[in-house]
Amino acid sequence: MDTQFFHVQKPEAPTSFPGQAKAGSCCARLARCQWPSYSSQIDDGDAQFENPFQMEDLMVFDDATLHSLLCHQGFGLLVEDLAHSLHGISEQVIERIARTIFADNSAAFLEELQRVIPPEQVDRARRVVLDRLFWELTYWKTPDLYEELTEGERLHPGIFEQLAPDISGNVVIDAGAGSGRASLECVRYGAEKVFAVEPSPGLLRILQQKLGSTHDQIVPLRGRFDAIPLPDRSVDLAISCSAFTAGPAQGGEPGLAELQRVTRMGGKVVIIWPRAQDYAWLDRHGFNYVTLQVQGEQEMCVRFRSLQSALHCARHFYAHNPEVARFIEREHRSDVPFSILGINPPCDYCWLVVK
């Protein structure tokens, strides 16, 4: 899944936007389906990945991002776990983390840091902290590995075909753009301008490499869901592909409010490939749901770049779902059905008209 947003300094906003506040612009008459019941095969708390990160890897984040990660309630990190996880870590790491936490937590943090605890409690705390921050560390520390995982997650082609009237000739924000999967599709379907907003420098670097020096329709920007670096009513369509969730750390109420703020009245907010566990939240917030049928009898798959790549990703991202690696080795295939991965396939989206 594509990215999560953290605080960065807003760049100077453009003075004007192509297509801004277009009168009578064409909008798609999108279908509506009944919201499905939650049917994920993997419980919300089950982590399939093998976590290779160490506490020292937190140093990869800039100060604003580190503060957001450690202090944002959406990540659910307790002061006790954070302090306990730092036992035996270098003073440089401890000092930097201590500077990022809220002042009213500093006394409790220092007290727990000095507490004598058994090694197994330290190990447990480190697992908690690193597992909660696994995806953020992946985006920042190993963006090329994340690109290797997600490049094979091909969306149902009908999604952008149905959204084409809302995209063509319009200004779009791709929130949580990652390495540009949805941004590039928007250009393919005729977007006049796409603001690809993403917090990870590594993923933005990969996007910039894809664009080269001649592609000016996509504008990469660093930003986060709850602080989008664009003016009010500056885009015609806001999309987020495999990035926005109901949790406030990856969107939630603050993120939805920001997406609505930057979208013109009558435009749409579109969440592509929402998590199954977020269906009820999105329904309560007025989103309309659309699911698309897969042609033929073959189900949707992740198409890894090679058999070696499939096994590499399976042993890293799906280490605790051994059926994935077994399937690849048994079938000798680099395309893995989503049913084997245990996640819903990318054949649905939901939309909300901004009022």
Q: Are strands 235-241 and 171-175 parallel, antiparallel or unpaired?
A: parallel
Which of 211, 265, 215 shows the shortest CA–CA distance to 235?
A: 265
- Report pLDDT digits (tens) over 128-185: 999 999 999 999 999 999 999 999 998 998 999 999 999 999 999 999 999 999 999 9
Q: Are strands 335-337 and 193-197 parallel, antiparallel or unpaired?
A: unpaired
Give me the pLDDT at residue 29, please.
Answer: 67
Place of tokens 């649905």: 348
How much is the pTM? Answer: 0.85
8-17, 113-122, 180-189: which range is least confident on average? 8-17
Give me the pLDDT at residue 106, please.
Answer: 84
49-63, 99-113, 193-207, 274-288: which range is least confident on average? 99-113
How many helices (H) and strands (E) would you count in the chain? Answer: 15, 9
Q: What is the mean pLDDT of residues 75-93?
A: 91
Sequence spans of domains, the chain = 55-141, 153-300+345-353
- Could you give the dihedral angle defined by the CA atoms of residues 327, 332, 335 and 338, in that order, rounded to the nearest 10 degrees? -10
Q: Give kind and range of the element (H or E) at residue 289.
A: strand 288-291
Six-digit token pair at 105? Answer: 């937590």
Identify the CATH number of the domain defined by range 153-300+345-353.
3.40.50.150
Q: Are strands 235-241 and 263-272 parallel, antiparallel or unpaired?
A: parallel
Looking at per-residue confidence, does 48 or 218 come out higher?
A: 218
pLDDT greater than 60 at residue 347: yes
pLDDT greater than 50 at residue 14: no
Give me the pLDDT at residue 165, please.
Answer: 96
Q: How confident is the model at residue 27 (pLDDT cuts 50, 70, 90)?
A: low
- Cβ contacts of 113 within 8 Å, gap of 6 or more: 83, 86, 87, 94
pLDDT greater than 50 at residue 317: yes
- 3-state DSSP call for residue 290? strand
Distances (CA, A) of 264 to 17, 22, 31, 32, 194: 12, 9, 21, 22, 15
Distances (CA, A) of 43 to 1, 40, 75, 159, 275: 16, 7, 17, 27, 12
Six-digit token pair at 202? Answer: 């590594």
Q: Which CATH architecture has domain 55-141?
A: Orthogonal Bundle (1.10)
- Identify residue 49 by its one-letter amino acid code: F
